[in-house]
Amino acid sequence: MIGGWEDIRAEVLRRIRVRDWPPGDLIPTEEALAIEFGCARATVNRALRELAEAGVLERRRKAGTRVAMLPIRKATLDIPVIRQEIEARGQTHAFRLLQQHEGPPPVPVASRLGLPATARLIYLETLHLADGQPFVLETRWLNPAVLPAPLPDFAALSANEWLVTHIAYATGDIAFSAQTATAHEATIMGLSPHAALFITERTTWTAEAPITFVRLAHAPGYRVQTMV
């Protein structure tokens, strides 16, 4: 019994998997499928649209709907606030503000934010602890020109958290990479030299102006996981 759009999505995916409709193949039109499944075309549209967003189908007006030749998998990751991430593991979160000062950013940071190297930004270096053990080192540059005054005491309230409640829902981009720990990082986080760190870098923007660039250096063992 085929009921709602989720059943239709499952049935279409099944036909693709058993190679009833192999990669590159043109599948029936929405109207034809609606007749076959005995439902409205809007219901078929919902199912096929979800599969297209997942990269399984390619749809073009007039040309029809094809099974994607090279399935670019779309993996979706959750990027939570650090405190939330630690507490979700059943550990207690704490943090220490290691440095705070104002001045011009390093050139790579300035260029990422699209600001001149002479801009004055606030630099924050914060170590986050999970059950007292170093979890992630956060190095952040903030653009005070676009932040709501007054700024809080970042030794008492993590910048990571303050931004969520004050600059929520801005746009930005995220990048992941692996880097060898610097001597500074190894000392602060209590790691052996040359430890491999998982690096998350995020740039955040409002409509017009850059807000912040943050680099998170995660202690060894950190994993980012997803379900496809």
Partner DNA sequence: GAGTGGTCTAGACCACCTC
Partner DNA sequence: AGGTGGTCTAGACCACTCT
Binding mask 145-164 for DNA (x = CB under 7 A): --------------------
The answer to whether 38 contacts DNA (rule: CB under 7 A) is yes
The answer to whether 59 contacts DNA (rule: CB under 7 A) is yes
CA atoms within a 13 Å half-sphere pointing along the CA-CB vector of 28:
13
DSSP-assigned letter for residue 117: T
Strands, sheet with 57-60, edge to edge from the N-terminal-most edge strand: 26-27, 64-67, 57-60
| Smallest distance, its own copies to C-beta of residue 3, A | 19
∠ CA 11-14-16, rounded to 5°: 115
The answer to whether 23 contacts its own copies (rule: CB under 8 A) is yes
Neighbouring residues of 124: CB distance < 8 A, sequence distance ≥ 6: 97, 99, 100, 138, 139, 140, 141, 142, 154, 159
Candidate segments 31-39, 78-86, 113-121, 135-143, binder of its own copies by CB under 8 A: 78-86
Candidate segments 62-70, 75-83, 142-150, 181-189, binder of DNA by CB under 7 A: 62-70
> Residue 52 or 191: which CB sits closer to DNA?
52
Length of the chain: 228
User: N- to C-terminal Cα distance for the chain?
Assistant: 26
Q: Which of 39, 67, 124, 136 binds DNA (CB under 7 A)?
A: 39
DSSP-assigned letter for residue 120: -
> Residue 45 or 91: which CB sits closer to DNA?
45
The answer to whether 179 contacts its own copies (rule: CB under 8 A) is yes
Q: Which of 11, 15, 45, 157 binds DNA (CB under 7 A)?
A: 45
SS3 (DSSP) at 96: strand
Q: Which of 21, 43, 128, 181 binds DNA (CB under 7 A)?
A: 43
∠ CA 205-207-212, rounded to 5°: 15
Please tell me the distance from the alpha carbon of residue 228 to that of residue 111, in angstroms, as a whole number.
34
Count, residues near DNA per rule CB under 7 A: 25
Please tell me the distance from the alpha carbon of residue 168 to that of residue 178, in angstroms, as a whole number.
28
Q: Which of 8, 27, 39, 56 binds its own copies (CB under 8 A)?
A: 56
The answer to whether 10 contacts its own copies (rule: CB under 8 A) is no
The answer to whether 26 contacts its own copies (rule: CB under 8 A) is no
Q: Which residues bind DNA (CB under 7 A)?
A: 3-6, 29-31, 38-43, 45-46, 48-49, 52, 59-65
